[in-house]
Structure 1
Amino acid sequence: MPIKNTRSRYGWISMGLHWLMALVVIAMFALGIWMRELSYYDPWYQDAPAIHKSIGIILFTLLIGRIIWRNINIRPLDDPALKRWERITSHLAHFALYGLMLALMVAGYLISTADGRPIQVFDWFSVPATLYGIAEQEDIAGEIHEILAWALILLAGVHALAALKHHFINRDSTLLKMLGRDAKNITPVHSTEKENGL
């Protein structure tokens, strides 16, 4: 499998970043929901938010790296069986996912640094507070963070369902390209039907 993308499939760096970030985003969402239910006397009351913040900073770094990698790499061609509206909505969904992740992480940063204290990332390093002291910053950023988290999970769910639809119903190369399969070896159901005169 190539390191970089080709016109027929994603390389292992793009694939690794995609699947790793997908798993981490889901885990972070679950962690965020769980830690909201913790009481002050729960042993995880301090640790869970600290882990959430630390992973959030690392995830932000991965996201920036992924955006850079996406822009310096070629992108696999869309499956020829895709309709025009499917191509457009696919590209818009990808941009929306990137935008939501960026906005979500910025909101999380504003929550964590609202009191002017830096974010400690697993005691490895700290990220300083650069914008703080705004009236009700933590509450406003917290509400925005929650809304964006739900929006991201819902859109990611639609994205996953669309990929499964293309794989099991259309039988095209959309999902397979992100699984390391070469799209040149895939015959979409539309092409088969045309060859049979259907």
Structure 2
Amino acid sequence: MLIKNTKDQFGILSKVLHWIVALLIIALIGLGYYMVGLSFYHPWYHDSLTIHKSLGMMALFWGSLKVLWTIYSNPPGLVANLPLWEVLAARTVHIIFYCMMVAIPSMGYFISTSAGAGISIFNLFDVPAIIEVNKEMRDLFINLHCYFAYGTGGLIVLHVMAALKHHLVDKDDTLIRMFWQRQGY
């Protein structure tokens, strides 16, 4: 299997980055949804926040790497014979995903470091605060972080439904191209 993409296939690095980022984002949205229902005094509140911050910084790292790799590696085109609305929808959703996979964890970083303290990553090392943001900016980032995450969750559902539609109804290679395939099949 090739590391780089070809005009017809995703390379191994694109597939690995896709699934790392996808699993991180899904875990973060689920954990974030759970966290907003906890009170400050709930026994799991602080631990879930620490895990969310650590996973969020991992998502920022891997998501940024995915965006850079996508720009560098020129992903394969969409499958042939798609209606124009599907081409436009696919391209729009992918652009939004790439923006959100950097924007959402970046906002989380600025929320978490707004008082000047860094973020501990699983108590292994700290990501330092690079700038302090004022209360108004922090509050704006909190709202955007939440709304963008929920919106991204909705787009993930549409993305999965579209992939399943291509696989089950259209019977094309859209879904298969993002999985590992055995050689000779």
Q: Is TM more than 0.5 here?
A: yes
1:51-62 matched pairs, under 5 angstroms: 51-62=51-62
* Distance change >3 Å, CA 24–CA 133, structure 1 → 2: closer
**1:95 alignment counterpart:** 95
Whole-angstrom CA distance in 1 between matches of 2:42 and 2:92? 42
Runs of 4+ in structure 1 over 4 Å off: none
Deviates more, 1:161-170 or 1:117-126: 117-126
Contact 1:108-1:142 within 8 A present in 2 as well: yes
Query: Matched residues, percent identical?
Result: 36
**1:79 alignment counterpart:** 79
**1:193 alignment counterpart:** none
TM-score between both structures, scaled by the size of structure 2:
0.90
* Distance change >3 Å, CA 40–CA 93, structure 1 → 2: closer
* Distance change >3 Å, CA 157–CA 35, structure 1 → 2: same
Whole-angstrom CA distance in 1 between matches of 2:172 and 2:90? 14
Q: CA RMSD in A?
A: 1.9
| 1:82-137 deviation line (CA, Å, top 9, x unaligned) | 12332222112101111122221121112101111111112222222223241333
**2:136 alignment counterpart:** 136
Q: Which has the higher contact order (CA 8 A, sep 6+)?
A: 1
TM-score between both structures, scaled by the size of structure 1:
0.84
Verify: 1:26 aligned to 2:20, yes or no: no
Whole-angstrom CA distance in 1 between matches of 2:11 and 2:98? 19
Verify: 1:148 aligned to 2:148, yes or no: yes
Counterpart amino acid of 1:71?
I
Counterpart amino acid of 1:30?
G
* Distance change >3 Å, CA 133–CA 164, structure 1 → 2: closer
SS in 1 for 2:31: helix
Counterpart amino acid of 1:119?
I
Whole-angstrom CA distance in 1 between matches of 2:7 and 2:133? 49
**Structure number, greater radius of gyration:** 1
Whole-angstrom CA distance in 1 between matches of 2:124 and 2:172? 44
* Distance change >3 Å, CA 40–CA 74, structure 1 → 2: closer
CA shift, 1:9, in A, is 1.5
Long gaps (5+) in structure 1: 186-198
**2:39 alignment counterpart:** 39
CA shift, 1:139, in A, is 2.5
* Distance change >3 Å, CA 133–CA 24, structure 1 → 2: closer
